[in-house]
Structure 1
Amino acid sequence: MATLIAAATTVLPLTLSIATTATAADQPAFYEPPAALPPHNGDVIRSEQAVFYLDPLKAIKVDASVDRIMYRTTDRLGKPIAVTGTVLTPRNVNLSPRPIVAFAPGTQGLADKCAPSLQIAQGTEYEGLPIKKLLDQGFAVVVTDYQGLGTPGVHTYMNREVQGHAVLDSVRAAQRLQGAHLPADGPVALYGYSQGGGATASAAELAPEYAPELKIKGAVVGAPPADMGQMAAGLDGSAYGVFFNYALSGLGAGYGIDIDAYLNSHGKRVTHDLRDNLCTTQALAKYPFLHSRFLAAGLRPLTELLDRAPWNAIVADQQLGKRRPAVPVLLSHSTLDDVIPQQVGKKLAADWCRLGATVKFSSNHIPGHIAATIATGREGVPWLQDRFADKPAPSTC
């Protein structure tokens, strides 16, 4: 793990500085869905060979079989949609049956160029090292792009249900991908941090009804944004203020609301810049401490919308912890998280415990939301190995 952390300190700065070179004009035709979709969720629409680089100079190529995929899933209303992703299978370790880990990515941004399947191939995916760590154990990994990242439309950021669907159907797609040789009925796990933690939590909640055939052994949930109502005011105007703008855009897209109606001319320029041009690291650098009152028509904080219809019902619909995961969960969250307060994660664990789930809540004291991903990976990988070995899952309930 020490080697992994050391590598992160050398790769990440290059990622932040060079990732700005990609443009919307670089978007491949691969990401345009066909007029007709296949009949079943998880069906592969198309695939192509790809590569996985850990750095934007493309000096460090990961030894894995890599396929970019487009597959069918469903939106919030159950309508079939196409999303993209990446299936990675390690070459250096051979497990039988080979487990599949559905890796739900953290906040990438809203622009199409931010799709993880593009960034994995360009060496600019900031979660490349956690993905490689899973591959090093011999696990296959499938990484969804979610709705609207790469594919047409605004990315439905923070939409609980559609994110959970995309994660679960990514596993089905990996199992059905010709040439990947992944077992159709083999062991599966879910893994994600931040936005990915929320998507993983949603997938774990939805799986018993949406994907009951998947043999899910457990879910690693890091710093989940489980209750936006608790988080919005703290995000707005903070160093991570763009995340609130992402959420407003994503929820609006998921529920058919054009948020331009709530914005002044400056707000429209900023919002469209975030949607069309910038990935997360670029957005945080360009718009630090973004406060919604300077973007809003009427100069009132846009967080006030969340207390009024229809937004209050939309926000309530995203809350996690109302459904019991049928699989063991490791929930990791730092006391010093500066984006998602630990109390949000702690409450989710308590809610799941009350519903009868098996949950280990793991607290750490790593300062900062981004750095605390280390703690999730350090504990999460051996925890997954134990689940795949069918060892009894620990619980703090």
Structure 2
Amino acid sequence: MPARPRMLAAAITAAVALGAQAVPAAVAGTAGDPATGPASEVSRGVEIPAFYTPPAELPAADGTLIRSEHLPLALSLPGLEGPLPGRATRLMYKSTDANGEAVAVTGAYIEPAAKWRGDGPRPLVAVAPGTMGQGDQCAASMALENPLRLGDGTVSVGYENLSVYRLLLRGVAVVVTDYVGLGTTDRLHTYVNRVDGAHAVLDAVRAARSLDSATVTAGSRVGLFGYSQGGGATAAAAELQPAYAPDVPLAGTYAGAPPADLTEVTEAIDGGDLAGALGWSLNGFLQTEPALRPVADRYINAEGREALKDLSTMCVGDALFGYGGASSEDWTTTGQSISDIIRAEPVLRDFLAEQRIGALKPGSPVRVATGVSDDLVPHGQSRQLAVDWCRKGATVSYAPVLLPGVGSGLLNHFAPLLTDQGSAISWLTDRLSGEPARSNCGSMPLQP
């Protein structure tokens, strides 16, 4: 079986094991504007609940809860002290994007049924999902309710649910962010945007702590957990937290396979299994930075424009089948690749340089893990992030995941997510219990 179908089959199997139901999402109550309430919308055959339509005006303070409602989990069993693994709440909260503009972000908070047996009050972990796609129907909070969608033009798998449930079983409360523009119907998702992702993660913590139903408080220890796109978001959050969210002190951050250098990642994914992510990146960057629009107009041809439009409504499963193996050379007027154009255009080089993670020192312990055979989100640039932080004096635990390569592509990237997840959760749980972190920066030159 080729790599893409093999990867998707594995993800679907995992989703089914978590109680997947291939059913359309229910329409949420109109909990927004008091007069008429927000209207529901449709993305690629999937109805987006009205809950996800932001109100016309947003509160001033970052992390302010805008609205919330009960979120039915796909896998929920009765228990003596409530449903297992816990009670879920859908959230919408206020954040600030990279341009300093107020944005509404959605997500979910889950109060676990399991007791926290570590030191101190029940802790909270913000989970930053890996790549879900750019269509609003791909949002991670929706995947908690419907982990598997097949048909109606959408292939969506809630693979991130596994890490969420593993944390809940340890008695850790979890808040999941959908990121800026994913789920909310007012704008496109700003895929792998460093600032947008970091702010969405940190403000999710603030929103969760304000819920009446949450047992976590301002005194609860906080951790961040993310892999791939999520690893980039948590890494950025860890280094932006001291300035942006000093009220959210972090006990520890796990950043798995972080795309810290988007110039290298762009070249790696072009022509590969996840080539569709090029479209998500371009769509998001063009929304964030209008100065890039003239460059795009000059270089992107009709086929490229159609691909960007198509990808803007796709989930990761759709993109694997629809654009796996696509070359950006087919999307440009000159026949150059996107990487060639980046090298030729200073405005693009400067923009991506601003997206680079690793220029700031995290104020709390971080664990960076990357598969040494990962050539999709290249191992070298992820490892370099750990090196950069070590040089700044941060407390870094670097973990190379030693797995044999299987050709190239998505499997080399996906396998470490599963094999290292238990170790990552254990490391983070230790930080949430108050155990001090150890740095292995001194041995970095000896590690792959």
Amino acid at match of 1:11: A
The answer on whether the counterparts of 2:15 and 2:147 sit within 8 Å (CA) in structure 1 is no
Question: CA, structure 1 residues 119+9, in 2 after alignment: closer, same or farther (shift >3 Å)?
Answer: closer
**Equivalent residue number for residue 364 of structure 2:** 327
Compute the RMSD of aligned alpha carbons. 2.2
Shift of 1:184: 2.2
The answer on whether the counterparts of 2:122 and 2:216 sit within 8 Å (CA) in structure 1 is yes
Residue 113 in 1 paired to residue 137 in 2? yes
Match of residue 93, structure 1, among 115, 125, 131: 115
The answer on whether the counterparts of 2:261 and 2:357 sit within 8 Å (CA) in structure 1 is yes
Residues 18-67 of structure 1 deviation map (CA, whole Å, 9 limit, x = unaligned): 86977615011111111111121000000010022259xxxxx9521101
- SS at 1:10's partner residue? helix
Amino acid at match of 1:41: D
Match of residue 391, structure 2, among 350, 354, 357: 354
Residue 69 in 1 paired to residue 91 in 2? yes
Residue 387 in 1 paired to residue 431 in 2? yes
The answer on whether the counterparts of 2:197 and 2:237 sit within 8 Å (CA) in structure 1 is yes
Residue 44 in 1 paired to residue 47 in 2? no
The answer on whether the counterparts of 1:187 and 1:216 sit within 8 Å (CA) in structure 2 is yes
Amino acid at match of 1:243: A
**Equivalent residue number for residue 339 of structure 1:** 376
The answer on whether the counterparts of 1:54 and 1:123 sit within 8 Å (CA) in structure 2 is no
Shift of 1:91: 1.1
Shift of 1:285: 1.4
- Structure 1 segments unaligned to the other structure (5+ residues): 1-6, 56-60
Q: Which has the larger radius of gyration?
A: 2
Match of residue 104, structure 2, among 82, 106, 115: 82
Residue 141 in 1 paired to residue 174 in 2? yes
The answer on whether the counterparts of 1:186 and 1:215 sit within 8 Å (CA) in structure 2 is no
Amino acid at match of 2:48: Q
Question: CA, structure 1 residues 246+62, in 2 after alignment: closer, same or farther (shift >3 Å)?
Answer: farther
**Equivalent residue number for residue 3 of structure 1:** none
- SS at 2:231's partner residue? helix
Normalising to structure 1: TM-score of the pair? 0.91
Q: Which of 299-308 and 368-377 deviates more?
A: 299-308
Match of residue 323, structure 2, among 279, 283, 287: 287
Counterpart mapping for 1:1-397 below 5 A = 10-12=13-15, 24=43, 25-53=46-74, 63-94=85-116, 97-124=121-148, 125-151=158-184, 152-256=186-290, 257-258=292-293, 259=296, 262-276=299-313, 278-307=314-343, 308-366=345-403, 367=405, 368-397=412-441
Mapped partners of 2:122, 2:21: distance in 1: 35
Q: Which of 206-215 and 254-263 deviates more?
A: 254-263
The answer on whether the counterparts of 1:62 and 1:132 sit within 8 Å (CA) in structure 2 is no
Q: Which of 184-193 and 264-273 deviates more?
A: 264-273
Mapped partners of 1:298, 1:149: distance in 2: 32
The answer on whether the counterparts of 1:158 and 1:247 sit within 8 Å (CA) in structure 2 is yes
Mapped partners of 1:9, 1:62: distance in 2: 22
Mapped partners of 1:336, 1:389: distance in 2: 32
- SS at 2:179's partner residue? coil
Residues 152-192 of structure 1 deviation map (CA, whole Å, 9 limit, x = unaligned): 21111111011100000000000011222321231000110
Mapped partners of 1:391, 1:109: distance in 2: 36
Amino acid at match of 1:137: R
- SS at 1:26's partner residue? strand
Mapped partners of 1:316, 1:348: distance in 2: 14
Residues 89-142 of structure 1 deviation map (CA, whole Å, 9 limit, x = unaligned): 111324551100010011110111111111111123111111100111100111
Q: Which of 21-30 and 121-130 deviates more?
A: 21-30
The answer on whether the counterparts of 1:160 and 1:199 sit within 8 Å (CA) in structure 2 is yes
Question: CA, structure 1 residues 170+261, in 2 after alignment: closer, same or farther (shift >3 Å)?
Answer: farther
Could you tell me the percent identity over the aligned residues?
39
- Structure 2 segments unaligned to the other structure (5+ residues): 1-9, 26-41, 77-82, 149-157, 406-411, 442-448
Question: CA, structure 1 residues 303+351, in 2 after alignment: closer, same or farther (shift >3 Å)?
Answer: same
The answer on whether the counterparts of 2:273 and 2:324 sit within 8 Å (CA) in structure 1 is yes
Mapped partners of 2:21, 2:413: distance in 1: 23
Question: CA, structure 1 residues 121+165, in 2 after alignment: closer, same or farther (shift >3 Å)?
Answer: same
- SS at 2:413's partner residue? coil
